[in-house]
Chains A and B, each alone.
Chain A
Amino acid sequence: MLSGDLEGDDLERYVEERVVTTKLKDLQNWARSNSIFPLTFGLACCAIEAPISIVTARYDLARFGAEALRASPRQADLIILSGRVSIKMAPVVRRLYDQMLEPKWAISMGACSSSGGMFSNYAVVQGADKFMPIDLHIPGCPPRPEAVLYGFTKLQRKIQGNPDPGWRQRYNAHGTEEWARGGPRSEPSDLELAAYEEARRAVEEPPSAEATRA
């Protein structure tokens, strides 16, 4: 189309139909939510449903842009805790989570990793959120692959900054969300920013000898 082909209201309508204005942050989150790299990681029987079934042709996680399972936590955005976490495995899981790069998300899948499930005993951690932050819990024993996909779409909505209220709706606890208390997880709070700045200043300007002695 050449300039001058449309004039006035026609031009306005043409632009309105074809151009979307948004904030860069929203665009970024939209891109992130649709290109998640889950970690190739299974803990127990739920692993049959989550990292294995949902990438197969029948359920096809590729529809949501997450078919690229990464074998290294350094390349992954999402860790799905698929199964019970034993007390011996918990430090390993925590380490994998710590090795993932920000922004990162964690799904606790199934009854066992959410609450210990039927393993209410000495060997199993009673809920994975005792040792790492969890973004989403998927109930079930094990959850159907459809439930995992449903949870996955809910995670996408959370990443886009529009999370479902979940249990907050039931308990009327709106306003307690992390993002409502100071931005989404991927953006550091003012306190974290100040601490980061201080740490960087300490690295860039080593304290003088007098200050160390004092």
Chain B
Amino acid sequence: MPDAPGLELIRGEIEVDHAGAVLATSFDREQAALIADPTRIVEVLSWLRDQPAHGYRFLSSLHVADYLPAEPRFGVHYELLNRERCERVRVKAMLADPGEEASPEIDSCVELFPTAQFQEREAFDFFGVVFRGNPDLTRILLPDDYVGWPQRRDFPVGGEPVTFTYSERARG
């Protein structure tokens, strides 16, 4: 993981080739993250992958988090790894909440990292984030006919109250 100055150096180098693609950096609790423009995420990821000086050629994880009630609401996180130097960097793309009807959308990075195929499907499965260009964006863990995006924070938890011995008087 680069330190805070190293992160700023990376950002400066990207700025030379792709001006404006990185919106900000975040260095919090020794965790370095580049906050990228979601419409240009593929540029940032391919630059990090293809620059010989950086060479983050391995996508170790792709995941989504729901930051409700913050806005932009959805964060797509890419954990990149350089296996020669054991060096990691995180790229975040924040997606605004498009409302009840529409889905948040971002470009797929399957072309860059084939491993992203399943991980994007999982993120779609649980958060409803649409990855444009993913060849087979269907549900992967939940049943195909499932309705809703269960890992979103405004999704009801579900389940039902169970009567135990200690609560049978109260519940009847």
Give the segment of A114-122, A145-153, A191-199 that binds chain B: A114-122
CB of A4 to closest CB in B, whole Å:
66
Cβ distance A140 to chain B, nearest Cβ, rounded Å: 14
Q: Is the CB of B159 within 8 A of A126?
A: yes
| A121 engages B142 (CB within 8 Å) | no
CB-CB contacts below 8 Å: A108-150 with B:
115-116, 119-124, 126
CB <8 Å contact, A120 and B157: yes
The answer to whether the Cβ of A88 comes within 8 Å of any Cβ in the partner chain is: yes
Which residues of A164-186 are within 8 A (CB) of B?
none
Count residues of chain B with CB under 8 A from any CB of chain A. 13
Inter-chain CA distance A119–B157, complex, in Å, is 10
Tell me whether A122 and B150 are in contact (CB under 8 A).
yes
Contact with A88, one of B142, B155, B157, B160 (Cβ below 8 angstroms): B142
Q: Is the interface of B mostly helix, strand, loop or mixed?
A: loop
A residues near B159, Cβ cutoff 8 Å: 116, 119-122, 124, 126
Question: Counting CB contacts under 8 A, is A87 at the interface?
Answer: yes
Query: Across the two chains, which residue of chain A brings its CB closest to B139?
Result: A88
B146 (CB) vs chain A CBs: closest residue: A87
What residues on A are CB-neighbors of B143 within 8 Å? Answer: 87-88
Residue pair A121, B157 in contact (C-beta under 8 Å): yes
Which among B141, B148, B157, B159 has the highest number of chain A CB atoms within 10 Å?
A: B159
Which residues does B use to contact A, with CB under 8 Å? 141-143, 146, 148, 150, 155-160, 162
List 15 A-B pairs, Cβ < 8 Å: A87-B146, A88-B142, A120-B157, A120-B159, A120-B162, A121-B157, A121-B158, A122-B157, A122-B158, A122-B159, A123-B142, A123-B150, A123-B158, A126-B159, A126-B162
